[in-house]
Amino acid sequence: MLKEFKEFISKGNVMDMAVGIIIGGAFTAIVTALVDNILMPVIGVITGGHSVEDMSVTVGNATIGYGAFLQAVIDFLLVALVLFMIIKSMNKAKTALIKKEEEAPAEPEPVPEDIALLTEIRDLLKNKQ
Protein backbone atom coordinates (compact mmCIF):
# COMPACT_ATOMS: atom_id res chain seq x y z
CA MET A 1 0.00 0.00 0.00
CA LEU A 2 2.87 2.38 0.81
CA LYS A 3 4.48 1.60 -2.56
CA GLU A 4 1.24 2.39 -4.39
CA PHE A 5 0.92 5.65 -2.47
CA LYS A 6 4.48 6.65 -3.46
CA GLU A 7 3.67 5.90 -7.12
CA PHE A 8 0.48 7.97 -6.90
CA ILE A 9 2.23 10.94 -5.30
CA SER A 10 5.16 10.85 -7.72
CA LYS A 11 2.93 10.95 -10.80
CA GLY A 12 3.20 14.19 -12.75
CA ASN A 13 -0.49 15.08 -12.51
CA VAL A 14 -0.47 15.17 -8.71
CA MET A 15 2.67 17.29 -8.62
CA ASP A 16 1.28 19.65 -11.28
CA MET A 17 -1.92 20.00 -9.29
CA ALA A 18 0.01 20.78 -6.08
CA VAL A 19 2.05 23.46 -7.84
CA GLY A 20 -1.14 24.89 -9.33
CA ILE A 21 -2.80 25.11 -5.92
CA ILE A 22 0.21 26.87 -4.39
CA ILE A 23 0.45 29.35 -7.25
CA GLY A 24 -3.33 29.83 -7.13
CA GLY A 25 -3.09 30.79 -3.46
CA ALA A 26 -0.37 33.33 -4.17
CA PHE A 27 -2.31 34.65 -7.16
CA THR A 28 -5.43 35.05 -5.03
CA ALA A 29 -3.45 37.23 -2.63
CA ILE A 30 -2.38 39.47 -5.51
CA VAL A 31 -5.91 39.84 -6.85
CA THR A 32 -7.31 40.47 -3.36
CA ALA A 33 -4.76 43.25 -2.85
CA LEU A 34 -5.72 44.73 -6.23
CA VAL A 35 -9.40 44.66 -5.38
CA ASP A 36 -9.07 45.88 -1.77
CA ASN A 37 -6.50 48.62 -2.34
CA ILE A 38 -7.21 49.91 -5.84
CA LEU A 39 -10.64 49.01 -7.18
CA MET A 40 -12.80 49.10 -4.06
CA PRO A 41 -11.68 52.62 -3.03
CA VAL A 42 -12.69 53.81 -6.51
CA ILE A 43 -16.05 52.06 -6.19
CA GLY A 44 -16.34 53.56 -2.69
CA VAL A 45 -15.98 57.03 -4.18
CA ILE A 46 -18.69 56.20 -6.71
CA THR A 47 -21.01 54.93 -3.96
CA GLY A 48 -20.49 58.02 -1.82
CA GLY A 49 -17.74 56.76 0.47
CA HIS A 50 -19.50 53.56 1.50
CA SER A 51 -17.57 50.31 1.50
CA VAL A 52 -19.13 47.73 -0.81
CA GLU A 53 -18.45 44.99 1.71
CA ASP A 54 -20.42 46.86 4.40
CA MET A 55 -23.49 47.39 2.22
CA SER A 56 -26.63 45.83 3.61
CA VAL A 57 -30.36 46.25 3.71
CA THR A 58 -32.63 45.78 6.73
CA VAL A 59 -35.88 43.92 6.25
CA GLY A 60 -37.89 43.78 9.46
CA ASN A 61 -35.50 42.55 12.14
CA ALA A 62 -33.13 40.90 9.65
CA THR A 63 -30.11 42.57 8.09
CA ILE A 64 -29.15 41.23 4.68
CA GLY A 65 -25.46 41.90 4.02
CA TYR A 66 -25.33 41.80 0.24
CA GLY A 67 -22.07 43.78 0.17
CA ALA A 68 -19.93 40.79 1.16
CA PHE A 69 -21.53 38.82 -1.67
CA LEU A 70 -20.83 41.66 -4.14
CA GLN A 71 -17.21 41.77 -2.94
CA ALA A 72 -16.85 38.01 -3.52
CA VAL A 73 -18.39 38.33 -7.01
CA ILE A 74 -16.02 41.17 -7.91
CA ASP A 75 -13.04 39.15 -6.64
CA PHE A 76 -14.15 36.12 -8.66
CA LEU A 77 -14.70 38.10 -11.85
CA LEU A 78 -11.29 39.74 -11.58
CA VAL A 79 -9.53 36.43 -10.95
CA ALA A 80 -11.37 34.89 -13.91
CA LEU A 81 -10.51 37.87 -16.15
CA VAL A 82 -6.83 37.84 -15.27
CA LEU A 83 -6.59 34.06 -15.68
CA PHE A 84 -8.34 34.33 -19.04
CA MET A 85 -5.85 36.95 -20.19
CA ILE A 86 -2.87 34.90 -18.99
CA ILE A 87 -4.11 31.69 -20.63
CA LYS A 88 -4.94 33.55 -23.85
CA SER A 89 -1.43 35.04 -23.92
CA MET A 90 0.16 31.67 -23.26
CA ASN A 91 -1.88 30.03 -26.03
CA LYS A 92 -0.93 32.82 -28.43
CA ALA A 93 2.76 32.39 -27.57
CA LYS A 94 2.48 28.62 -27.93
CA THR A 95 0.79 28.99 -31.34
CA ALA A 96 3.50 31.39 -32.52
CA LEU A 97 6.18 28.96 -31.35
CA ILE A 98 4.54 26.05 -33.16
CA LYS A 99 4.23 28.10 -36.36
CA LYS A 100 7.89 29.08 -36.09
CA GLU A 101 8.91 25.44 -35.72
CA GLU A 102 6.75 24.45 -38.69
CA GLU A 103 8.18 27.22 -40.87
CA ALA A 104 11.77 26.26 -40.12
CA PRO A 105 13.04 24.08 -42.95
CA ALA A 106 13.73 20.57 -41.88
CA GLU A 107 17.25 19.36 -42.45
CA PRO A 108 17.36 16.73 -45.17
CA GLU A 109 17.97 13.27 -43.88
CA PRO A 110 21.34 11.82 -44.84
CA VAL A 111 21.11 9.44 -47.76
CA PRO A 112 22.00 5.89 -46.77
CA GLU A 113 25.33 4.72 -48.16
CA ASP A 114 23.85 1.94 -50.32
CA ILE A 115 21.32 4.35 -51.92
CA ALA A 116 24.09 6.86 -52.61
CA LEU A 117 26.18 4.14 -54.23
CA LEU A 118 23.28 2.98 -56.41
CA THR A 119 22.58 6.59 -57.45
CA GLU A 120 26.24 7.03 -58.40
CA ILE A 121 26.17 3.82 -60.48
CA ARG A 122 22.98 4.97 -62.22
CA ASP A 123 24.52 8.35 -63.06
CA LEU A 124 27.67 6.68 -64.44
CA LEU A 125 25.60 4.39 -66.63
CA LYS A 126 23.62 7.37 -67.96
CA ASN A 127 26.83 9.20 -68.82
CA LYS A 128 28.17 6.21 -70.77
CA GLN A 129 25.12 6.08 -73.01
Amino acid found at 112: P
CATH tag for 2-128 (out of 1.20.272, 1.10.1200, 3.10.450, 1.10.3470): 1.10.1200
Q: Quote the pLDDT of residue 12.
A: 63
- To which H or E segment does residue 64 belong? strand 62-64
Whether the predicted pLDDT of 50 surpasses 80: no
User: How much is the pTM?
Assistant: 0.51
Residues 6+ apart with CB under 8 A from 9: 15
Lowest-pLDDT range of 11-15, 63-67, 109-113, 117-121:
11-15
Amino acid found at 83: L
How is the chain split into domains, by residue range? 2-128
